[in-house]
Structure 1
Amino acid sequence: MKNFLFSILFFVVCMLTAYLSNAQTRVDPAASDDDADIPSFIKNKPAKDAYLKAREDNINTIRGLPWTLPYNPRVKAINEMKIQEQKNALNRSFLVQSPSWVELGPSPIPNGQTQGVVNAVSGRTVCIAIHPTNPSMVYVGTANGGIYRTVDGGTNWTQIFDGGQSLSIGALAISPSNPSTLFVGTGEADLSADSYAGVGLYRIDNADVAPTLVGPINPLVTTGIANTSAFSARAISKILVDPANGNNIYVSTTSAQIGNPGGAPSGTIPIIALKGIYRSTNALSTLGSIAFTKLTVTATGSVAPDVTGNTNVTDMVMEPGNPDNITCWVYGFTSEGGIWHTTNASAITPTFTQTLAIAASIRGSLTIVQQGTGPSSVVLYAATGESASGTSCTTGSGAVRKSRDGGVTWSAKLQGGGGFCGGQCFYDLPIAVSPVDSLTLLLGGSALGTCSSIMKRSTDASATFIDKGNGLHADEHVIAFAPSDATIAYTGNDGGIFKSTTGGTTWNSINTAGFSATQFQSIAVHPTNTSLTIGGTQDNGTNAIKSDNSPFRVDFGDGGYAAIDQNGGAVNATIMYHTYFNQTNNLIGFASTILGETATEGSPSWKLYGCGGTANGITCSDATLFYAPLVLGPGSPVNNVYFGTNKLYRSVDTGIVMTVVSQTMATTISSIAISKQNDNVRIVGLSNGNVFATVTGVSPLIAVTPPIAAARAVGRVAIDPTNADVAYVT
């Protein structure tokens, strides 16, 4: 390949991912047609935990995770951006040349994938904090969209955290003694495929009127290991604030995705922090002076020479009126899993006792209420990911337990609620008890199935539950009653934020103006009407912004890559493509439509080509990424279609027939680029960091990996649209 003249400029911005291995498909018995992730036409639905893990691997590929540098590269980039913004502000002539960005939406998606009725949706919502005396003032944290505030019960929303160094949120807590103070835990603690680590804690002063961000707060702490920080590369799962003194706060942490649980950058302490519970007694101080102490819940999992433990604490509750009494859930890997309780949380060295032992790798969540006085007045419930055996419904997983003595002793599994979270209890198991009635519970799960439900309600202390998921999106993450009005409740799931004014018996979407939490995976633009765009989203299908600038979901499932034929055509007669998820021996391919922006979900608007759909030459046994890359190359009257597994495929007839145009690669293709000038000029990047190319359109492709390339997944390859000799690789 003597005449190959590519000038490759290699920027190492992506550091690592694992490619999706050829996992065997198993059918999930709790799978439901109401699961917004997985299209209903899939015959062999993958187990949801494997599905989410596969999605994580692919997203990590794109984001270049985990990083192995001695610093957080995202934080470094944000700091450099702020310096550049300051320089720009002083140089107005330069600002004139800068692009002006306008948000297009969707805000919200009007036709969400919701149970029973069609409601507006947005993106994954994971935590909620409601003002103690004003049920219309609510703060909402999202998976990767920051924090939103409403002062009118959800009619309008304001983003208040755009200046944060991480928009991945795990916990919110209002200071009861000063409700204008909001504590924010960054890093999503859902232990899911794409729950990302944060940068520590923030305090927002005057959060209700004029928010001022203080943070990130991530001080060094004294442990058995020198230079250990409190929150580096972790997610914050819960924040508890002493109701009488906002200086005293407790913060619990878990693993998060800079790698799978426990696999954060380089996997060493320090760089990453020890997991567990941290306490501060000066949380209202200036940024540089706020200190934390690591508490010992259980010494299990300690990293020598430290003895304070290193385990995921997924939830905590504080006894009303007694901040010394704290109960927490430990997601254990051996015998430490289950519920732990302390009665001296403010002591120099608090003592925690395990009050309920649970098998390894079982997640749980807690809720608490006090009614009356005396030893039995403090009631707790635990939603757990245990087997449903012993309950009234035994398909899938999920159970509810109860404590009548403040968390000291626990019941056996209660009859109601069995199997509520189906096959993904590590991800969907929020629970909330009414602040005025210890018999009334709301229980969140995955999707409607034999025993599972998006939302269940009990009025008899979990003896029985009734499905109340109508109108909600699948995958519940948080439920909260308004402290001052038990008829009002809010819930967050993979479709955004919803509200009940009937104590949880009915639900309405409040994904309204200003709430923009949808997580896009891709975007494509019409060649002549640039208002028309489509893009794939996490758990919310493939969405369009139409030529009249209105948003609309045009297909279901978990959207991946999207493309629009660049030969033009009327907006209602344009060829468009998108991918769902991809899995070896189950589903590998893409869908296409000729209806442009008038397409609606499923058949006949969209036709699926490939393994699992209409056969077109794509082999079911190929190794593939979860979001397998799809791009278009030049061609008339239709663009050529390219699709990547561990082979490069090409079609000249909109995907009806796909032909292999490369050798079988050693691993999966993570990115494809085709020259706009010459369809024979093609580059592919692989999940192992290698790069292959051809300038003649022949197979096999030739290795052109830059000599300085690391053995990391290629995030993106691109060819200069005006010069086919120039290519870029990230």
Structure 2
Amino acid sequence: MKNILILAFFLGTILSTHAQSSGWLFTGPKQFPTNISGQINGIGRVCQIKFDPNNTNTLYACSASGGLWISTNNSQSWKPMGTDLLPQMNTSSVCIDFTNSNIIYLSSGDPNYYSTDFGIWKSTDGGQSWNLANTGIGNRMALELLMDPLDHLSLIAATNNGIWKTSDGGNTWSEKLAGNNFTDMKWMPLAGSSIVYASSTNKFFRSTDRGNTWSEITTGFSNLLQQGTRLAVSPANPAFVYVGSVYDEGTIFLSTDSGTTFSIRYHDPNRSLTGYDTTGGGQGNYNFCIEADPLNPNQLYLASHNVWRSDDSGFTWTKLTNWWQTVHTDMHDWEFHPSNPNQLFQANDGGVWMTLDSGVNWVQTSDSLSATENYHAAASPLFARLISTGTQDNG
């Protein structure tokens, strides 16, 4: 009887805690914290940013521990997307239906540490409520979710274990390519194209039938495609495909034939693109991203600890920032504004930044994106209202 009473007490406590979870009061931080001196601060780790295909003033931010966020004023302010009461608030990628912005697909998990949670969630009411859409795919984490440009019920997920596809709006998923720890995926930016590219930690794949079958491409990579990869394509020349590899502190490959063959554009083990400085000291696959300019296929951006830009298809590089100032270090994703190609966004461990002049000057656009990762906290034994907390990379 004693054991039964104890069990009943604990069950009652758990249910009560769950019922009261919506009664928490937010206390901050809300405004972007500014250091008087030292390394630039941030407000929380953002893993991916994406624009609403139906409204170019609206963009979404997948945070590592704070759920999904939305800005409806081009990143001037942010608000949460109803993910506060999900069992876990790690988010890795998002996809918005191009026929109805109320339909949103969200992958859970931490893409920078490859930790999985519950798989893929779906909302049909603009993020007010969420339901699991993971039949078949299970708890796999999608590093990227892409919707078929011609069929809004068809989505492809590049996950930590295989490439999966749904043809019924996420009700069921089937495996299209087994295994591999995928890091990125891009649809060829050409109207009507059926070509999709995907990269894993050390491989590159190409599909010519909308993600149903895949072929590994090896021509031109030698043994330099290792330790983590990212992809970039430009609508200005859809035949151009860039693959960035973490190997040897940053290696760049270019295909000019739609991903059929590649050649090395940059490989210099003595000059690091991924380190704190050119002598090295990077963090590998954790923070690495590339992006091609939508109007100039020869202009390529790379970020890891610092922002770099190439104006000659990745052959030479100019460092635009220093890791301790201007833009927060540990960089994860790029996104150009779909109707203003001069506006480029950068997501990192500190939040979201934006440039209007090809990466020369930057402003933070993270106010109210309250996704700070608080690892430890302690209350003062002397002052009841004094609490100290430590965060990831943000003070």
Percent identity of equivalent pairs: 21
Closer, same or farther in 2 for the Cα pair 1:382/1:535, shift >3 Å? same
Give the drift of 1:496.
1.4
Bigger radius of gyration: 1
Closer, same or farther in 2 for the Cα pair 1:475/1:112, shift >3 Å? farther
Alignment partner, residue 197 of structure 1: 116
Q: Which amino acid aligns with 1:366?
A: L
Residues 90-489 of structure 1 aligned to structure 2 (within 5 Å): 101-112=24-35, 121-132=42-53, 134-160=55-81, 161-190=83-112, 192=113, 195-207=114-126, 211-220=127-136, 230-232=137-139, 234-254=140-160, 275-283=161-169, 290-296=171-177, 309-320=178-189, 321-331=191-201, 337-345=202-210, 347=212, 350-356=213-219, 357=221, 358=223, 362-371=227-236, 377-387=238-248, 397-414=249-266, 419-422=272-275, 423-446=282-305, 454-469=306-321, 470-489=325-344
Q: Which amino acid aligns with 2:105?
A: F
Structure 2 gap ranges (5+):
1-5, 276-281
Structure-2 separation of matches of 1:489 and 1:133: 19
Which of 508, 533, 538 in structure 1 is aligned with 2:387?
Answer: 533
Paired residues of 2:225 and 2:245 also in contact (CA < 8 A): no
Give the drift of 1:532.
2.1
Closer, same or farther in 2 for the Cα pair 1:112/1:494, shift >3 Å? farther
Structure-1 separation of matches of 2:211 and 2:200: 20
Q: Greater strand share, 1 or 2?
A: 2
- Cα RMSD, aligned residues only: 2.9
Give the drift of 1:282.
0.7
Q: Which amino acid aligns with 1:238?
A: E
Alignment partner, residue 585 of structure 1: none
Q: Which amino acid aligns with 2:365?
A: I
Q: Deviations over 1:568-612 (max 9, x none)?
A: xxxxxxxxxxxxxxxxxxxxxxxxxxxxxxxxxxxxxxxxxxxxx
Give the drift of 1:164.
2.6
Which of 340, 351, 369 in structure 2 is aligned with 1:496?
Answer: 351
Closer, same or farther in 2 for the Cα pair 1:399/1:99, shift >3 Å? closer
SS in 2 for 1:128: strand
Closer, same or farther in 2 for the Cα pair 1:527/1:134, shift >3 Å? same
Paired residues of 1:169 and 1:198 also in contact (CA < 8 A): no
Paired residues of 1:457 and 1:505 also in contact (CA < 8 A): no
- TM-score of the pair, normalised by structure 2: 0.85
Closer, same or farther in 2 for the Cα pair 1:363/1:415, shift >3 Å? closer
Structure-1 separation of matches of 2:29 and 2:333: 23
Q: Deviations over 1:44-96 (max 9, x none)?
A: xxxxxxxxxxxxxxxxxxxxxxxxxxxxxxxxx9xx96x6579x5xxxxxx8x
Structure-1 separation of matches of 2:40 and 2:365: 9
SS in 2 for 1:283: coil
Alignment partner, residue 279 of structure 2: none
Paired residues of 1:112 and 1:495 also in contact (CA < 8 A): no
Q: Which amino acid aligns with 1:250?
A: I
Closer, same or farther in 2 for the Cα pair 1:433/1:175, shift >3 Å? farther
Give the drift of 1:523.
1.2
SS in 2 for 1:426: helix
Closer, same or farther in 2 for the Cα pair 1:175/1:402, shift >3 Å? farther
Closer, same or farther in 2 for the Cα pair 1:155/1:404, shift >3 Å? same
- TM-score of the pair, normalised by structure 1: 0.47
Paired residues of 2:226 and 2:247 also in contact (CA < 8 A): no
Closer, same or farther in 2 for the Cα pair 1:239/1:150, shift >3 Å? same
Closer, same or farther in 2 for the Cα pair 1:538/1:412, shift >3 Å? same
Structure-1 separation of matches of 2:156 and 2:24: 39
Paired residues of 2:41 and 2:328 also in contact (CA < 8 A): no
Give the drift of 1:120.
5.2
Give the drift of 1:175.
2.8
Structure-2 separation of matches of 1:157 and 1:385: 32
